[in-house]
Amino acid sequence: MILAEAQDIQISEHPIDAMEKLAAAYEWPSERGTEDDMNICVSGKYCDLHMAISWRSDLGGLHLACVLDTKVPTAKRNDVCDLIAQINEQLWLGHFDIWSGDGAVLFRNTLMVSGEGLSETQCEGLLNHAVTTCEQFFPAFQYLIWAGHDAQRALEVCMFETKGDA
């Protein structure tokens, strides 16, 4: 059921302009592709995170795809798909995926924009959630791909949370 005819969402500032300002504020390398998309590179704890951000005015959605700096060997793809399914069960926002062509692991999330438009805080929240989620689960992919752990063990290691300092 379609509740209303799709219309372009009108906002006071173009979402990609807002993301571009955030990238500059954090001094992250970025490149604007078109009016509606850009790329940002964030130096994470374990690897560089390459983010592609796109605005779809017809859907009112700001989409972020964050590619982790790792490739899945063909022999490990089924195991990584199992790990991704287990990780995605833990996530409330966004999801991990594997690019079928080159085996890249990516995190994807979309922010739906309606009403008054988009705030800088919402843009920052989308970016921070992507970085935090990728950094939490990147080691699981490494444990599975390079250390030979199964999906369940790789996930358990990443879900372990330490308290305090030793």
Please report the DSSP string for the chain in residue order. Answer: ---S---PPP-SS-HHHHHHHHHHHTT--EEEEETTEEEEEEE-SSSEEEEEEEEETTTTEEEEEEEEEEE--GGGHHHHHHHHHHHHHH-SS-EEEE-TTT-EEEEEEEEE--TT---HHHHHHHHHHHHHHHHHHHHHHHHHHTT---HHHHHHHHH----S--
Confidence check: pLDDT of 10 > 60: no
Domain extents in the chain: 15-159
pLDDT of residue 71: 87
Confidence check: pLDDT of 42 > 50: yes
| Mean pLDDT taken over the chain | 85
Higher-scoring residue by pLDDT: 160, 103: 103
Band (pLDDT 50/70/90 cuts) for residue 12 is low
**Class of domain 15-159 as given by CATH:** alpha beta
Q: How far apart are alpha carbons 125 and 114 in whole angstroms? A: 16
- Tokens describing residue 59: 């859907």
pLDDT of residue 151: 83
pLDDT of residue 148: 81
pLDDT of residue 107: 97
Confidence check: pLDDT of 76 > 60: yes
Least confident of 8-12, 51-55, 129-133: 8-12
Higher-scoring residue by pLDDT: 73, 159: 73
Band (pLDDT 50/70/90 cuts) for residue 8 is very low
